[in-house]
A and B are shown apart, each in its own frame.
Chain A
């Protein structure tokens, strides 16, 4: 096995350990500090970043591919968040503004 391959596998094991550690931290944080949406999403985003970059090898792909995939996906996901205002309106059963 080449030194490069050994290094790449060592990185993979480290990422695997970190992702599992974050999963445990998420549960501990949820139990001790309460499961705040912000904290949970930040930890999940770190896990997703690590999985995308190291397990899915996005960091080894050309930057063209990363630029084609990631901003477009994030844009669509962010635009979906427009619905939140309406869900807050529903809980107080407020009518639409005229």
Chain B
């Protein structure tokens, strides 16, 4: 039994004399859920701010060509697939298969890095076309600010998730973490995926060149 499992067992011993949680989940998982709902509100506020600026600009540019749309679709495929691989990691950790859990966590992290690389390629393409935070060659100068802030915050979440998955995955393999830790970071990873489901239609498809 690993050190992490022993710590959890000791906590469970203390919890046995206390009232049961109304949610029947470990407090660390509840904290991740609370973080997720607050982060959902952050992304919601950012997307609504983008909508506000877009709606109030008379010359909002429609810039995304079909290559960008297919790139976004490929990124969606990668991110949704990593949601599946992180589920495999959770299943493996629940079965106490440390090797498989580590492997699937690393596959998920690699998918996250690939996603970020494709995203940076998209950024570089727009920067190459003259898009900056407060200027672009086509129309409303706020387009760059809206695009880079929404996608930048999402990319920061992806990169933070990659770091967390590598740390927790290797820590779980070494016995420093328990399976619940893999499960908690899998929740975070699914949330990053969920946010992307709104970023693609609102940022890419609504600004598609027609």
Q: Which residues of A contact B (CB under 8 A)?
A: 5, 9, 12-13, 16, 19-20, 23-24, 26-27, 30-31, 34-35, 37, 40-41, 43-44, 47-48, 51-52, 55-56, 61-62, 64-65, 68-69, 72-73, 76-77, 80-81, 83-84, 86-88, 90-91
Contacts and interface: CB of A to CB of B under 8 A. Distances in A.
Contact of B194 (A24, A52, A87, A90): A52
A26 B200 contact: yes
Contact of B202 (A40, A47, A48): A40
B80 A73 contact: no
A43 B30 CA distance: 28
B48 A35 contact: no
A89 to B, nearest CB: 8
B197 A48 contact: yes
18 contacts: A5-B91, A9-B91, A13-B84, A27-B73, A35-B208, A37-B202, A37-B206, A40-B201, A44-B201, A51-B197, A52-B194, A64-B23, A68-B23, A69-B33, A69-B37, A87-B53, A88-B56, A90-B55
A35 B33 contact: no
